[in-house]
Structure 1
Amino acid sequence: MLLELLMWGIILQVLLGVGFGLVCAYLSWRGPRDPDAADLIPALEPARSAPPVPQRVRHDTHFS
């Protein structure tokens, strides 16, 4: 009896956790419903393609 209740409690907890996770993932994927609320979220800046900076290599660090 106690083992059966414990088993159903664990199953219910897992199902609720999975369902809540799926709902949160869907809401996060869908984005804000209010178009004005989208302005509150800052847009990502485009990546800047700067030329690579040459690295200085010290050649006097080897042990002789």
Structure 2
Amino acid sequence: MLKTRSKIKELRVRAPLEVCDWVKREAESYGVSLAAVVVDALEDHIKRMEAEKSAKRPSKTR
């Protein structure tokens, strides 16, 4: 999956449809549904957003 993520980062400068097509082909080559790839990406994004949110909160220790 790490190789896939680096490839996606590399492709971000291209048109979004090209990225979607590439992700779909990669998912099919691994025998994984595109929906599973999307869910995995969303879970990663949510975790990253929660980590950023908790990092921005001031500590409540006095």
Q: Name which structure has the greater RCO, CA cutoff 8 Å, separation 6+.
A: 2
TM-score, with normalisation over the residues of structure 2? 0.44
TM-score, normalised by the number of residues in structure 1: 0.43
